[in-house]
Amino acid sequence: MSNAIELNKVTYTAGKSFQISDLNLHVPEGAIYGFLGANGSGKTTTIRLIMGMLRAEAGHISVLGENVPNDMPSILGRTGYVPERPHLYPGLTVGETLRYHASFYKDWDSEWSYELVEALHLDARQTVGQMSKGEKGKLVILLAIAQRPELLILDEPTDGLDPVVRRDVLTAVLDYVSHTKATVFISSHLVHELERFCDWVGVVDDGTLVVELPMEDFKSGIKRLKVQNPPAETDDAPFVVLNRTFIDRRTPMEMWVVRGWQDPMTQYFERTGATVCDVMDLDLEEGFVELLRSSRPSSNGYGE
């Protein structure tokens, strides 16, 4: 499987307090890849490195098989981008904005762009300065997909939009992807939203990639276990223990959160004299929170 985006050992320092260090990231061609992280974790910085707006201090970045930053003119011509804070000229109408952007892209589909104006319930005669935040959110998505890109990079594209507008925006993206098989790299803090349509997920925290895997593996592999007579050490466990919490010291009984779980792994507990009393699923948001807790230095993996 080839990758639409690939970062290998990328390092970048921002000021005195934040660094992306040895970041490895692999976005398969044709994937809808959800990029998750808390505020300040490095999501936007990573996207700016991918888009050539920041220069990595070390490592290698490739996009659509081309090198960043040397091949950026070609990469940008094949990539639709919605930044965290989009800039639109308030004095232009929607129609003038479309014609302005069309001049930069050889594959711009003018006829389809006006079909999108109607589909998204926009007014080509309205000036951008008179548009609501939701209307502007629809417009920037329109501008990104009307150029017929092979890759869409979306940085919090639905942030601050109401549920109806979020649905319209994401529907436009998914309709485009279903017809073109384009790759989508989408950063968002709306975890449940990504869970519905992403097929890959990457979690970043403090400039470090915590995990990267197919969405189904993420959702099926993170579990909450109720364990009786738990072993003290887990160095030989066939899964990763993210958290352990006492339930009852007298029994003793603990609640574990683990990553990489498969049902036959109950045999591990049987060998240690422990018993798994219950195996519970976690949704994407719960798994995301547990991953962040376990990745931070203050976490000792043993809660009260």
Same domain, 280 and 226: yes
The domain boundary, picked from 167, 185, 206, lies at 206
Written as tens digits, the pLDDT of the chain (304 aa) is: 699 999 999 999 988 888 999 999 999 999 999 999 888 889 999 999 999 999 999 999 999 999 999 999 999 999 999 998 888 999 999 999 999 999 999 889 999 999 999 999 999 999 999 999 999 999 999 999 999 999 999 999 888 888 899 889 999 999 999 999 999 999 987 787 788 889 999 999 889 998 899 998 888 888 999 999 999 898 899 998 988 888 887 889 999 999 889 989 999 999 999 999 999 988 888 888 888 887 766 544 444 4
Same domain, 42 and 90: yes
Which residues does residue 184 pair with via DSSP β-bridges, in sequence order? 32, 152
Q: Which among 254, 243, 246 is positioned nearest to 287, based on CA atoms?
A: 243
Q: What is the pLDDT of residue 298?
A: 52
> E strands, the chain, where?
3-14, 18-28, 32-36, 58-63, 66-68, 79-82, 151-155, 183-187, 200-205, 208-214, 222-228, 240-248, 253-259, 275-281, 302-303
Q: What is the pLDDT of residue 304?
A: 40
**255: domain range?**
217-303
Same domain, 12 and 136: yes
The domain boundary, picked from 206, 235, 258, lies at 206
Same domain, 266 and 162: no
In a domain, 211, yes or no: no
Same domain, 95 and 68: yes
Same domain, 11 and 139: yes
Q: What angle do CA 8, 12, 15 make, to 5 degrees?
A: 165
Same domain, 180 and 44: yes
Same domain, 43 and 172: yes
Q: What is the pLDDT of residue 1?
A: 62
Same domain, 151 and 298: no
In a domain, 212, yes or no: no
Q: How far apart are CA 87 and CA 101, in angstroms?
A: 12
Q: Are 108 and 148 in contact (CB under 8 A)?
A: yes
Q: What is the pLDDT of residue 287?
A: 85
Query: Cα-atom radius of gyration of the chain, to the nearest Å?
Result: 22
The domain boundary, picked from 206, 228, 255, lies at 206
Domain count, the chain: 2
Same domain, 13 and 42: yes
Same domain, 162 and 228: no
Residue 262 burial (CB < 10 Å; 0-12/13-18/19+)?
Answer: exposed
CATH number at residue 238: 3.30.70
How far is C-alpha 192 from the geometric centre of its chain's CA atoms? 12
Q: What percent helix, strand, coil does the chain show, rounded to 5? A: 35, 30, 35
In a domain, 130, yes or no: yes
